Amino acid sequence: MAESRDYLEISFKSIELFASDGRLEAHELEQLYALAMRDGKLDANEVRVLKAVIDRVRPDELDAAMKATLAEIVQRLPRGGA
């Protein structure tokens, strides 16, 4: 079975979303997670990219919606390894 390349799409989409207004909003993070889950599972590359995107979220972007979305997505990510 061929390796999933969804992580590349997530990477490019995250660049596009950050570039549009310099910040990431909760619904945009949800879009990225949905791309990763399109095949029903998260692979190591998707987790790595999602974690890198999350690490780029600035404190001034943390409104209530973003805090809730971050908490939900971080909880779904596998711990360690990726």
Radius of gyration for the alpha carbons in the chain, expressed in angstroms and rounded = 12
Delimit the domains of the chain by residue range: 6-76
Q: Which of 9-13, 24-28, 77-81 has the lowest mean pLDDT?
A: 77-81
Look up the pTM and report it: 0.87
Q: What is the pLDDT of residue 81?
A: 45
| Distance of alpha carbon 4 from alpha carbon 40, whole angstroms | 12
Predicted confidence (pLDDT) per residue in 35-45, tens digit: 999 999 999 99
Instruction: Locate 4 and state its tokens.
Output: 């999933």
Q: What is the spatial distance between Cα 58 and Cα 80, in angstroms, rounded to a whole number? A: 23
What does the DSSP 8-state code read for residue 42?
-
Contacts of 13 (CB under 8 A, 6+ apart): 31, 32, 35
